[in-house]
């Protein structure tokens, strides 16, 4: 049996535009403890990598390191619903901060 469908949460940005996140932080918990450099973008994935068991992100999603070794990085102001913001220590993902 499949998972129960949960509708996406609708948030409103400061300008009144609705922001709909299709994914939530819990959908990416499998990334914890992995090296950032070993995670592959969807566009770079191949059948060989899938057969080897490599971690490939869903289509359009990418990782942005928000905190690297307890040093805050500069995050762009614009909202991007495909950006996965993570905290790392020595290139190992220690927490997933947000999506978007």
- pLDDT tens per residue, the chain (100 residues)? 456 666 666 778 788 887 776 788 888 899 999 999 999 998 888 889 888 888 889 888 999 998 999 888 887 778 788 899 999 999 999 999 888 7
The pair of three-digit structure tokens given for residue 92, joined into one six-digit string: 């190992």
pTM, to two decimals = 0.74
Residues 6+ apart with CB under 8 A from 13: 19, 79
How many helices (DSSP H) and strands (DSSP E) are in the chain? 1, 6
The confidence score (pLDDT) of residue 7 equals 67
The confidence score (pLDDT) of residue 32 equals 92
The confidence score (pLDDT) of residue 1 equals 46
């Amino acid at each position: 049996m499949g998972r129960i469908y949960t509708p996406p949460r609708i948030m409103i940005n400061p300008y009144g535009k609705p922001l709909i996140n299709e994914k939530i932080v819990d959908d990416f918990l499998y990334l914890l403890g992995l090296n950032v450099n070993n995670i592959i973008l969807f566009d770079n994935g191949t059948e060989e990598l899938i057969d080897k068991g490599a971690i490939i992100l869903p289509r359009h999603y990418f990782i942005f390191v928000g905190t690297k070794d307890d040093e805050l990085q500069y995050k762009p102001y614009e909202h991007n619903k495909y950006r996965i913001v993570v905290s790392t220590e020595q290139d190992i993902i220690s927490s997933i901060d947000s999506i978007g």
